[in-house]
Amino acid sequence: MKKAHTRTVLADDTDMRAEYDFKGGVRGKHHRAMLAGYTITIHKADGTTEVRDVRPRKGTVVLAPDVRVYFRDSESVNAALRTLIRLIPTQRRTIREKGIAR
């Protein structure tokens, strides 16, 4: 005799099930640690193990979620920043380009 399968139907894809409780959760708790790098251990089917150290590339910039909504990709971020750079007074840009910090 087969068991009857019951399926929980969610009203919306974004709804969480009642058994998930995130009341004590902290958003971004491990963010700084991930930026410093982390290790991934891969256990393969043949019994071997591979360990990989993952480090963010030099120059990696992480956008906050509220900012990410406005930028689809790197090109859009760079275009916006280039526009802002043009607004910086010429004298100040010249000082920065020469490497003299204020």
The tens digit of pLDDT for each residue in 11-22 reads: 555 677 888 888
Give me the pLDDT at residue 61, please: 83
Give me the pLDDT at residue 22, please: 81
Would you say residue 75 lies in a domain? yes
Residue 43 backbone zone (phi > 0: left; psi -120 to 50: alpha; other: beta): beta
Would you say residue 15 lies in a domain? no
Would you say residue 16 lies in a domain? no
Give the tokens for residue 92. Answer: 């100040």
SS3 assignment, position 44? coil
Would you say residue 10 lies in a domain? no
The range of the structural domain enclosing residue 66 comes to 31-98
Would you say residue 76 lies in a domain? yes
Would you say residue 85 lies in a domain? yes
Confidence class for position 92, pLDDT limits 50, 70, 90: low
Would you say residue 22 lies in a domain? no
Would you say residue 5 lies in a domain? no
Number of domains the chain contains: 1
